C-alpha cells in the first residue's frame, strides 16, 4: 500500500467538513455478504434470476416471488450480518463532527446498523416490506416468519387486508431512490468517497462524472479492482477497504 497516498487521504479527510460517500457490494463482502455482480457472483451464475427479481414478475406471481427472493438474498441470514471496519470508519467520521452523506447501492442495512445517520439506500432495503394496498410497513422478523408475507391490517369492514407484501428492495423495473439528494449533497461536499463499487450500474455510475465537473470536490476511489472511471479520481486505492481504513 502506498503510504504517501494514505497520508494525503488522511490529511484531506481531516480538512473535509462535508463528505459524500457512494458505497457498493465491496463494502459488504467484508461482512460475508455475497457480491451479486462481480465475477463468480450470483447474477452471473443464472441470469434468469434477474427476471424473477423484477417488478413485473412480482405483480404477476407474488406467491412465487417470495421463495425465490428469500433464497437469492439469503433472507434467513439477513439479520445476522454485522458492520465491518469500513462501515464503522464512516460512522466515526460523523462522530468527529463531519457531515457524512452515504448513498449506498447495498440493501443490507449495515451502514445504519453501524450508526451512520445520513444513509440513503439507492436500491432500497431488505429489512422491510410494504403493503401495495394500504402502505403498512413490516419488519424483517415478520418477513422471515411467513413463507409468503401478507398484510395483516384489519380494514374498516373488519376483514384482513391480506395483500402479498412487496419487498422494499428496488426490483428491476422499479425507480432507484434518492437521486435528488445525491445532487444536493454534491453541491455542498468537499470530498467524494467511492467505496467498494466498480460503477457498472446506472444511475450510480454517473455520480463521479457529475462530481468531476466541480474542481473543488476531492475525489477518492477505493475498490479492489480497476474501474473505467479511475482516471476521474484524485486518489485511487485498489485495496481491501478494511486494510485501507486500518492504515488510516
Binding-site residue ranges for Zn(2+): 131, 134, 151, 161
Q: How far is CA 180 from the centre of its chain?
A: 16
Residue 16: phi, psi to the nearest 5?
-75, 140
Bridge partners (DSSP) of residue 160 are: 154
Ramachandran category for residue 233: left, alpha or beta (phi over 0 → left; psi -120 to 50 → alpha): beta
Q: Which of 99, 123, 178, 238 is catalytic?
A: 123
Contact between 197 and 103 under an 8 Å Cβ cutoff? The reply is: no
CB-side neighbour CA atoms (13 Å) of 71: 9
Burial (CB < 10 A; 0-12, 13-18, 19+), residue 152, is middle
Residue whose grid cell is 450508526: 115
Contact between 41 and 34 under an 8 Å Cβ cutoff? The reply is: yes
Q: Annotated binding site, which residues?
A: 131, 134, 151, 161
Q: Is 111 a catalytic residue?
A: no
Catalytic residues: 123
Amino acid at each position: 500500500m502506498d503510504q504517501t497516498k494514505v497520508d494525503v487521504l488522511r490529511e484531506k479527510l481531516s480538512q473535509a467538513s462535508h463528505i459524500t460517500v457512494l458505497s457498493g457490494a465491496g463494502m459488504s463482502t467484508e461482512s460475508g455478504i455475497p457480491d451479486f455482480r462481480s465475477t463468480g457472483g450470483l447474477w452471473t451464475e443464472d441470469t434468469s434470476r434477474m427476471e424473477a427479481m423484477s417488478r413485473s414478475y412480482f405483480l404477476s406471481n407474488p406467491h412465487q416471488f417470495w421463495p425465490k427472493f428469500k433464497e437469492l438474498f439469503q433472507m434467513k441470514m439477513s439479520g445476522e450480518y454485522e458492520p465491518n471496519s469500513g462501515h464503522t470508519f464512516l460512522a466515526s467520521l460523523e462522530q468527529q463532527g463531519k457531515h457524512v452523506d452515504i448513498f449506498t447501492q447495498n440493501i443490507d442495512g449495515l451502514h445504519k446498523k453501524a450508526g451512520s445517520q445520513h444513509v440513503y439506500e439507492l436500491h432500497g432495503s431488505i429489512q422491510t416490506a410494504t403493503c401495495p394496498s394500504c402502505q403498512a410497513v413490516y419488519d424483517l422478523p415478520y418477513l422471515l416468519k411467513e413463507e409468503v408475507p401478507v398484510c395483516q391490517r384489519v380494514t374498516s369492514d373488519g376483514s384482513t387486508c391480506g395483500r402479498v407484501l412487496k419487498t422494499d428492495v428496488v426490483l428491476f423495473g422499479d425507480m432507484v431512490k434518492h437521486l435528488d439528494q445525491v445532487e444536493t449533497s454534491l453541491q455542498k461536499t468537499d470530498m467524494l468517497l467511492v467505496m467498494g463499487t466498480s460503477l457498472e450500474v446506472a444511475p450510480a455510475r454517473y455520480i463521479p462524472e457529475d462530481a468531476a465537473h466541480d474542481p473543488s470536490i476531492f475525489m477518492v476511489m477505493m475498490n479492489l479492482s480497476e474501474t473505467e472511471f479511475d482516471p476521474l479520481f484524485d486518489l485511487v486505492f485498489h485495496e481491501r477497504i478494511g486494510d485501507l481504513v486500518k492504515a488510516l
